A and B are shown apart, each in its own frame.
Chain A
Amino acid sequence: MAEEDIQAKLQNYRTAPFDARFPNSNQTRNCWSNYLDFYRCQKALDAKGVDTAPCDWYKRVFTSICPISWVQKWNDQREAGNFPGKI
Chain B
Amino acid sequence: MLSVIAKQLKSHPALIPLFVFIGGGAAMSIAYLSRLALRNPDVSWDRKNNPEPWNNMKPDQQYKLFTVNMDYSKLKKEGPDF
Contacts and interface: CB of A to CB of B under 8 A. Distances in A.
Given A29-B42, A33-B54, A61 B61 contact: no
Q: Which of B51, B57, B60, B78 has the most C-beta atoms of chain A within 10 angstroms of its own C-beta?
A: B78
A54 B54 CA distance: 22
Given A33-B54, A33-B55, A86-B51, A20 B78 contact: no
A2 B78 contact: no
A29 B80 contact: no
B36 interface: no
Interface string B42-70: 10000000011011011111111001001
B11 to A, nearest CB: 49
B78 A55 contact: no
Contact of A20 (B59, B79, B81): B59
Interface in A17-35: 17-24, 29, 33-34
B55 to A, nearest CB: 7
Interface in A31-87: 33-34, 37, 40-41, 44-45, 54-55, 57-58, 61, 86
A57 B82 contact: no
Contact of B60 (A20, A29, A44): A20
Contacts of A22: 54
Nearest to B42: A29
Contacts of B58: 20
B42 A18 contact: no
B25 interface: no
Interface of A: 2, 6, 9, 17-24, 29, 33-34, 37, 40-41, 44-45, 54-55, 57-58, 61, 86
